[in-house]
A and B are shown apart, each in its own frame.
Chain A
């Protein structure tokens, strides 16, 4: 039976009796107050003579609407339809005619039906019907006033009517032209789908495109009505789907907060609520009796000690037993070697021993035997007898395992390169001299010694050719040359030159033979040179002092009339022995001279202002190589062949003795801080001493291949240099930190080559520029070189 009900709020279309009957309580209960209104234009195009569009709306009703309504409405419809006989049969008239509805029509209906939103269970089905009927329209108007009857239509099952394939994935029909089967078993053909262009055109042209969806079950396009959209929006915004539903109903406060004077219920209290329990009384009596009789004892209260025992060791391993530890550190026994071919019951013949071998085996001590058994051959395994030594061997094996202690051998893998201390890259330690800049040429023999004036403008050099030359540092120009006269002086070699470090004194001490000559070079500030001359000239010896004491060195001043005065000669100090070195004290008043062969007089300290010489040491401690003044404190460093002694000049005592660990000290330099000295030795070594730390070398560098001739510190930059007979000057970065805990950082940074080796002599002296990171070196090739 098919019926059609159209009403304003509720429309039921095409309800078959079977479906109606089938309408289960589940579907009914599932029904929600939803409302749908499907509009399909296209479906009407075929025969839309009057009704240009058919409107169907599914309506929710409460499930409990009465049966009467349904009947009433059906009656009405029956009546209506009977009234309109001229109407065609397409609208349901009675059950039978409805059943006979042509398949075409049904198909049309089903195809035209709009039914989307499968996910919503209680979606209403509203079909499209060819409804040209005026009466029907009339009926609509009638129906709008009516209360709908929800049993007249079916809800969820109705949608399945058109496609009877059931609840199966629709992809299964993807490859077929049809989408399923209708109730008659006829194929439901898939509607024709346009290509993407059509889709696009549709998108552009159709104003309802955005709310058109496809019914998967039928493949039809469905335009969602305003109500549908509202429903979807409500669902999306988590609201009640029905916009009409009342979410906020008035609240009836049943249990009020107000105190009522009367009880809610008025039952009288039960008797048992105020009479003590007799059963409990009996039970208590029993327990009291048991206590009295001593059958039952009260539980003891826990003492504090017991409670304390609740604590447990968090780290149990601390008192791990010996056994568990042994298990944890289990060392597996070494495996026995696998049996060889000789142990086979049927060994290859080459494993069998010959007679002689067997005899020999027998004669050997059991410990010396290579094998502790005799290989034997049996034709088959059956013939192999029991092994007699089995117990013996097991026992020996057990002895081995038991008596040989096993211990894990810890092997350290040390990369030898990791042991080398990480030194910074030389590039990061700039500035330091890197390239030869100027060569000072002019000497005709070995240049033994050089010295720079305190301003860094001039350089003085002494050579074996008996000349002392003064150079302009910046250009390499020889400004002045003093040639020593031969004669009484004999040896003309200039052994040492030293520029007075005081900026207000212009004097150079020159050691030549047995004399020390003080020369005023006349370079630099004229005021200073004149002052120096004046001071020297105005000296008047105080007789008393010089009378009482032994004269160690003979002072003599040069008259202005003397020819040598023009050359700058100012004072001569005649020494008893050959002088090898002169060195100035930092303030420029004292200077020391070294006579290696002078025995007890090998070191003399001269005072310029009083023209007096002192011998600080009574005894000779060895052949003195060089002496140096401490830059700030009254100390004197005296280097003999193997030791460096540090004397306190004020207290006149030995304060330190440094072991150089080398065979023959050649040179020495003191850091400007005074706490570090370096020693160069003829056995190619350079040793750095940290006086605060030890009397032994802090570090020994063996970079030179031949004897180290001179070492020097830079006054400002953390640099030191060593000159050697191998023709090189090695510049090292030697950073001394103010932090006493930090050791000096010593990094070799540059090997400066340039000097040629002649007479087996290379570089004989090296001096740093006082203010720039430059180093001067002089060598046996008669040149002086400046490296910058």
Chain B
């Protein structure tokens, strides 16, 4: 095939995707081979063994859990691997490129968003919460807050005629809403008051009966998400009889639990298990809290301000976004100090938000102030899989709650929707 004089490397290919399995024989490939050549080689092998497989599949190649991004010899040289030995290369089908699908225009900066089934919830700096369909049709614009909305989360959005969601805002309140899908009407059922700063993050537990909120006032508060909870009071403050008639009763809810410990504002929170909550804060720490004992269990020290955090149920790892262009991978199960398992560097600005894939344990997306959203594979720390540009301003929020949609909201008032086809990689 190739010139005899070029250096060759013995390579053995294997895959975990059974439909592409090939015989376990080493191949001699030119050392300077790149991903595309290897890909065509695998295609040829597949074609030879089985006619039913159509050629032209793009593959990605993994050496020791790291993607091949440079020519093979360079990669081996960088990793200090001898090219004399037989190199074992795993190949996986290349992740398909996300396709930009839609752009939803808001009146103001999009600060937060979450998708659920066929609906997208977004919060904006014009104090409103909006509901969109995944196809891009605006369903509702909900004014309710008196200050920019900082976080929105679906409480129950799957099926059912009524969906519930939560929104937190700069006005220090968290509102629990009920959305009647049939009538396309929404009502605020609860107003959770207690924070003395802007509510920056909300996390709902798996049972969907509790949620925690983190705020700029350094407090982590646990609230009940049930429809009726103890301690609910009817809103008395500005709701005289007249208003009551117009809007239904808004009940004030008080926190079940308030945890202090952070020395700066809390920027992100996630439930790790039934009772464990992890929070990321501006004080450079990640803290784990036990919600049943109402104590802090452990702390992981970072070096930079954490702007966002995401926890994957699939691989039980945390990825954090920092105010220093880097994404960091943590394992909350490790007990000894702060161990950053991996650092993902490609952004040029603060990384404002990050989100794991709900179905693939290797993938996550990140949005940055450099206006680019990136799709990452944990096995490729140096370069992201795909860059998704399109925004003209800082990306403030990204979301991957719907497996096939990558969502990003930015300061250019747009919410971009990217189609991502990942059916083949479902784990």
Q: Show the binding face of A for B, using Cβ within 8 Å.
A: 431, 435, 437-438, 455-457, 474-477, 479, 524-527, 771-772, 788
Contact = CB atoms under 8 A, between A and B. Distances in A.
A504 to B, nearest CB: 11
B172 A526 contact: yes
A438 B109 contact: no
Interface in B332-347: none
26 contacts: A431-B303, A435-B325, A438-B349, A438-B350, A438-B369, A456-B264, A456-B282, A457-B197, A457-B216, A475-B111, A475-B396, A475-B411, A476-B394, A476-B411, A477-B148, A524-B197, A525-B196, A526-B171, A526-B196, A527-B196, A771-B264, A772-B305, A772-B323, A788-B305, A788-B323, A788-B324
Given A438-B349, A525-B197, A527-B196, 18 more contacts: A435-B325, A437-B323, A438-B394, A455-B197, A455-B216, A457-B198, A475-B411, A476-B394, A476-B411, A477-B148, A477-B411, A479-B148, A524-B197, A525-B172, A771-B264, A771-B282, A788-B305, A788-B324
Contacts of B148: 477, 479
B14 interface: no
A457 B352 CA distance: 16
A726 B110 CA distance: 37
B265 interface: yes
Contacts of A527: 196
Nearest to B305: A772
A772 B282 contact: yes
A524 B325 CA distance: 27
Contacts of B305: 772, 788
B240 to A, nearest CB: 20
Contacts of B282: 456, 771-772
Interface in B239-265: 264-265
A717 to B, nearest CB: 12
Contacts of B125: 477
B216 A477 contact: no
A499 to B, nearest CB: 16
Nearest to A457: B216
A456 B217 CA distance: 11
Nearest to A475: B396
A437 B264 contact: no
Contacts of B264: 456, 771
A525 B264 CA distance: 14
Interface of B: 109, 111, 125, 148, 171-172, 196-198, 216-217, 264-265, 282-283, 303, 305, 307, 323-325, 349-350, 352, 369, 394, 396, 411
A688 to B, nearest CB: 28
A300 B21 CA distance: 119
- Interface pairs A-B: 5 shortest CB-CB: A525-B196, A437-B350, A788-B323, A457-B216, A526-B172
Nearest to B109: A477
Contacts of B349: 437-438
A475 B196 CA distance: 20
A417 B351 CA distance: 43
Contacts of A525: 172, 196-197, 217
Contacts of B265: 455, 457
A288 to B, nearest CB: 102
Contacts of A455: 197, 216, 265
Contacts of A526: 171-172, 196
Nearest to B171: A526
A787 to B, nearest CB: 11
Nearest to A474: B307
A477 B394 CA distance: 10
A772 B197 CA distance: 18
A788 B172 contact: no
Nearest to B195: A525
A431 B304 CA distance: 9
A479 B171 CA distance: 12
Contacts of A474: 307
Given A475-B411, A525-B217, A771-B282, A788 B197 contact: no
A475 B198 contact: no
Nearest to A436: B349
Contacts of B217: 525
A136 to B, nearest CB: 78
Contacts of A772: 282, 305, 323
B304 to A, nearest CB: 8
B147 to A, nearest CB: 9
Contacts of A771: 264, 282-283
A476 B395 CA distance: 12
A771 B304 CA distance: 12
Nearest to B263: A771
A526 B193 CA distance: 12
A476 B411 CA distance: 9
A475 B148 CA distance: 12
Nearest to B264: A771
Nearest to A434: B324
A475 B283 CA distance: 17
Most B C-beta atoms less than 10 A away, residue of A431, A438, A474, A526 = A474
A426 to B, nearest CB: 16
Contacts of B197: 455, 457, 524-525
B301 to A, nearest CB: 13
Nearest to A431: B303
Contacts of A479: 148
A788 B303 CA distance: 12
Contacts of A438: 349-350, 369, 394
Nearest to A526: B172
B411 A437 contact: no
A405 B105 CA distance: 97
Nearest to A437: B350
A692 to B, nearest CB: 31
A455 B216 CA distance: 9
A525 B324 CA distance: 28
Contacts of B171: 526
Contacts of B323: 437, 772, 788
A527 B197 CA distance: 10
A476 B125 CA distance: 12
A497 B324 CA distance: 29
Nearest to B352: A475
Contacts of A435: 325
B11 to A, nearest CB: 40
A524 B264 CA distance: 14
A96 B404 CA distance: 126
A715 to B, nearest CB: 14
A357 B65 CA distance: 97
Nearest to B325: A435
A475 B172 contact: no
B394 A475 contact: yes
A429 to B, nearest CB: 14
B325 to A, nearest CB: 8
Given A474-B307, A476-B394, A525-B196, A788 B216 contact: no
A524 B195 CA distance: 11
Nearest to B173: A526
Contacts of A437: 323, 349-350, 369
B305 to A, nearest CB: 6
Nearest to A524: B197
A177 B217 CA distance: 109
A141 B282 CA distance: 113
Nearest to B111: A475
A788 B198 contact: no
A527 B111 CA distance: 24
A568 B125 CA distance: 20
B129 to A, nearest CB: 17
Contacts of B411: 475-477
Contacts of B394: 438, 475-476
A477 B111 CA distance: 11
B340 to A, nearest CB: 16
Contacts of B324: 788
A435 B394 CA distance: 16
A527 B193 CA distance: 12
B36 to A, nearest CB: 35
